Chain A
Amino acid sequence: GAVVSQHPSRVICKSGTSVKIECRSLDFQATTMFWYRQFPKQSLMLMATSNEGSKATYEQGVEKDKFLINHASLTLSTLTVTSAHPEDSSFYICSAGTASGDTDTQYFGPGTRLTVL
């Protein structure tokens, strides 16, 4: 149980275009979803936290207008990187937490590797 999927797993786009990444909880309701960014050989950096039906809370230094997060249902959150530039190339990871069962654990998706040319 507690499976989180991400789509796509890899995406290559041209500079200036927008890219949407989906994060789904497959077998549980995710009351909270988190988006992270991971640079090569570094730890995960939390970008934002989103609760279903409300606006995301962004970490300091993360541009909310550039990284749009939508958490429209208890099983789906999306991250849209708008007007992507090469410096946005990274590994983006989502995780989900649940209000029932194991409430103190986040379940991670497999990640999406974004390459901006």
Chain B
Amino acid sequence: GNSVTQMEGPVTLSEEAFLTINCTYTATGYPSLFWYVQYPGEGLQLLLKATKADDKGSNKGFEATYRKETTSFHLEKGSVQVSDSAVYFCALSDTGTASKLTFGTGTRLQVTL
């Protein structure tokens, strides 16, 4: 079955530090890959996505590249801000239409001044 593995948190960084949150997946076929962000007290928001190998999703300074050869979709940001403090979820769906999402366990990011 499908599965998503994320690095355990929390990840604590100083403002303007470089961020990497690792995500690897197991799936049959060619899944779409997603990063969702959950700010404190709020619901999940789609941060970025990639639908095929070598695609790069990007939004708000965050990037992730769909690497089929390593089955990875690591999230990166060059310079984090305090406002980026949130929980980040990596997820996949295994068809081209909105279908069942498989989530990772989430990684909490804390950014301090």
Number of A-B contacts (CB under 8 A): 61
Q: Which chain B residues (75-113) contact chain A, with CB distance < 8 Å? A: 89, 93, 95-101, 103-106, 108
Which residues does chain B contribute within 8 Å of A42, judged by CB atoms? 105-106
Establish whether residues B36 and A103, one from each chain, have CB atoms under 8 Å apart when the complex forms: no
Is A27 part of the binding interface, using a Cβ–Cβ cutoff of 8 Å?
Answer: no
- Quick one: CB contact mask for A36-63 with B, threshold 8 Å, 1 for yes? 0000011110100100000000000000
Establish whether residues A97 and B99, one from each chain, have CB atoms under 8 Å apart when the complex forms: yes
Establish whether residues B89 and A97, one from each chain, have CB atoms under 8 Å apart when the complex forms: no
Establish whether residues A104 and B93, one from each chain, have CB atoms under 8 Å apart when the complex forms: yes
- Quick one: CB contact mask for B8-27 with A, threshold 8 Å, 1 for yes? 00000000000000000000
Question: How many interface residues does A have (CB within 8 Å)?
Answer: 24
Which residues does chain B contribute within 8 Å of A32, judged by CB atoms? 98-99
Establish whether residues B46 and A107, one from each chain, have CB atoms under 8 Å apart when the complex forms: yes
CA distance A93 to B49 in the complex (A): 20
Q: Which of B44, B93, B95, B106 has the most CB of A within 10 A?
A: B44
Give, as a whole number of angstroms, the nearest-CB distance from B36 to chain A: 7
CA distance A95 to B38 in the complex (A): 14
Establish whether residues A105 and B46, one from each chain, have CB atoms under 8 Å apart when the complex forms: yes
Establish whether residues A104 and B44, one from each chain, have CB atoms under 8 Å apart when the complex forms: no
Establish whether residues A104 and B100, one from each chain, have CB atoms under 8 Å apart when the complex forms: no
Is A67 part of the binding interface, using a Cβ–Cβ cutoff of 8 Å?
Answer: no
A108-B36, A110-B42 are known contacts. Are A43 and B97 too (CB-CB below 8 A)? no
- Quick one: CB contact mask for A78-117 with B, threshold 8 Å, 1 for yes? 0000000000000001011111000111111111000000
By a beta-carbon cutoff of 8 Å, the part of chain B in contact with chain A is 32, 34, 36, 42-46, 49, 51, 89, 93, 95-101, 103-106, 108
Shortest Cβ-Cβ A-B pairs, 9 listed: A97-B98, A110-B43, A108-B44, A43-B103, A43-B105, A111-B43, A103-B97, A104-B32, A108-B43
